[in-house]
Structure 1
Amino acid sequence: MTMQDFLSLEDGGYISPDQAAALNRDLAAKALSDIAPDDRQNVLDYLLNAMAINSVEYDIREKIDALIMDLQS
C-alpha cells in the first residue's frame, strides 16, 4: 500500500498487516514536502497510532520518527 492508497481509503477502511508494513515503508521514504498540507494530519494520526501499537519495523523507526517530528512542527 502506498501513501496515495491510504489517503484514498474511505472512513473506517481496513488495512491488513501486510498493507500496513508496505505503507510504513512507503512513508519512511517520504519527506514533509511529499505530503500535501491537507493530508498531513491524517498521515500524522496514522503514524502515531502505528508507533503506539509497535507496528513499525525497527529498521525504519528512525525515519518514521523524523517524519513525525516534521509533521508536528
Structure 2
Amino acid sequence: MKLQDFVSLEDGGYISPDQAAALNRDLSAKTLSDIAPDDRQNVLDYLLKAMEVNSVEYDIREKIDALIMDLQN
C-alpha cells in the first residue's frame, strides 16, 4: 500500500498487516511536503497508532519519528 492508496480509503477502511508494513515503508521515504495538507492529520493519526502498537519495523522507526515530528508542527 502506498500513501495515495491510504488517503483514498473510505472511513473505517481496513488495512491488512502486510499493507500496513508496505505503507510504513512508503511513508518512511516521505517528507512533509509529500503529504497534502488535508491528509496530514489522517497520516499523523495513523503513524501515532502504528508506533503505539509497535507495528513499525525497527529499521525505519527513526524516519517515521522524524515524519511524526514534522506532522505535529
**TM-score w.r.t. length of structure 2:** 0.99
Offset of 1:11 from its aligned partner? Answer: 0.7
Q: How many residues matched?
A: 73
Q: Which stretches of structure 1, 4 residues or longer, exceed 6 Å deviation after superposition? A: none
Rounded Cα–Cα distance in structure 2 between residues aligned with 1:62 and 1:55: 14
**Identity of matched residues, %:** 88
Offset of 1:4 from its aligned partner? Answer: 0.4
Residue in structure 2 matched with residue 41 of structure 1 by the alignment: 41
Structure 1 residues not aligned, in runs of 5+: none
Residue in structure 2 matched with residue 64 of structure 1 by the alignment: 64
Rounded Cα–Cα distance in structure 2 between residues aligned with 1:48 and 1:41: 10
Residue in structure 2 matched with residue 55 of structure 1 by the alignment: 55
**TM-score w.r.t. length of structure 1:** 0.99
CA offsets 1:5-46 (integer angstroms, 9 cap, x no match) = 000100111000000000000000000000011110000000
